[in-house]
Amino acid sequence: MTRDNIYVHFHPDEHRFVDQAAEWISRAEQHAVKLTDFLDPRQAFILTSLANAHPDVHVRFEGGYPGAERRRAIVAPDYRVLDDEDPGIRVLAIYSPDDSLADLDHGDYMGAILNLGLKRDKIGDIHPRADGCHIVVAEENADYIALQLNQVHRIHVRTELLAPEQLLPSETKLEELQLSVASMRLDGIASDVYRLSRAKILTPIKAGRCKVNWKQEEDPSKPLKEGDVVSMKGFGRFKLLEVEGVSKKGRQRIRIGRYV
């Protein structure tokens, strides 16, 4: 299959990653092993889709725990035993001697690490808790982060590096909303969730700042379905938990979980 034939299945903004993943697979066919940075679920889907077309190549994903959202991949020739390969993951534990970290959230910790000059690709899942946070990070950057990170949201912190099996995942918190919408269109539901007018919600969608299931979505009329995860840059993300039915006035009753 030519590269142009592959491209038709993916958004133009994904073509660069498609090229990258295709290169990893090509090198694996020539007996090379590639350990990737952390991939989001959409990137993992693209890599898996391409690898499935090459029987001499296989892929292992690892994010530190079974339910990880962001995971590193090991792309290798099929004769390599991937369970023996090191996924290059460490756990950064962040803590403070008092309870000052209780009000910090995912964004506070991610911002603190990105301010060190690191790319998002080097950071896996972030697990904030009342007494601190566990963050999955790339092993090659772990020592640097542990040494340099001494403040989160103006709060002084201490750090420690742990093995992946010491990770304490935090439970995902969702603020549930009950909505009544005229249709299942992306723009209609997003405008209600983010409390923006229909006209204002069109701007970030058409500007490419919206993703549905980690795939860029620029069509405001795209219908959403149960299980879809929507993220809007600058506004957060939500999940369509359930379509509960149709009201007497013909409106859709839905249940939304907004990530907090």
**Structure confidence by residue, pLDDT tens digits, 172-185:** 888 999 999 999 99
Backbone angles phi, psi at 122, to 5 degrees: -90, 0
Highest mean pLDDT among 101-110, 221-230, 245-254: 221-230
State the pTM of this model.
0.86
Q: Is the pLDDT of residue 2 over 60?
A: no
The token pair at 53 is 């077309």
Q: Is the pLDDT of residue 212 over 60?
A: yes
Domains of the chain, earliest start first: 3-84 (3.30.1370.160), 89-166 (3.30.70.330), 174-259 (3.10.290.10)
Contact 91, 163 (CB under 8 A): yes
- The rounded distance, in Å, linking the Cα atoms of 226 and 243 is 6
Strand-pair partners of 236: 232
Q: CA angle at residue 75 from 70 to 78, to 5 degrees?
A: 135
Q: Closest by alpha carbon to 196, among 225, 234, 167, 226? A: 234
Backbone angles phi, psi at 45, to 5 degrees: -65, -45
Mapping DSSP to helix (H, G, I), strand (E, B) and coil, where does residue 172 land?
coil
